[in-house]
Amino acid sequence: MAATMISVPVSTHVQETAVLAASPAKVWAVVASGLSFWNAVESAELTGGASSQTLDATTRLVFKDGTRWTTQLREISGITKSVSFEVITCEPASAVTSMIHTIRVHPVTTDPSLSFVEWVVDFSNDATAAIVLDSSFKRREGLKDLETAAKASA
| Per-residue pLDDT, 146 | 97
| Average pLDDT score over the chain | 93
What percentage of the chain carries pLDDT values higher than 70? Answer: 94
Residue 64 falls inside a structural domain? yes
User: Could you please report the per-residue DSSP string of 100-137?
Assistant: EEEEEEEE-TT-TT-EEEEEEEEE-TT--HHHHHHHHH
Residue 47 falls inside a structural domain? yes
* pTM for the predicted model, two decimal places: 0.92
| Per-residue pLDDT, 64 | 97
Domains in the chain, number = 1
pLDDT beyond 60 at 47 = yes
User: Which residue range forms the structural domain that includes residue 28?
Assistant: 13-152
| Per-residue pLDDT, 20 | 97
Residue 61 falls inside a structural domain? yes
CATH of the domain at 46: 3.30.530.20
Region 25-44 average pLDDT: 96
pLDDT beyond 90 at 63 = yes
Give the orientation angle of helix 24-32 with respect to helix 129-152, to 10 degrees.
120
Residue 84 falls inside a structural domain? yes
pLDDT beyond 90 at 77 = yes
* Measured distance CA(66)–CA(49) in Å, rounded: 24
Question: pLDDT class for 154, splitting at 50, 70, 90?
Answer: low
Residue 1 falls inside a structural domain? no
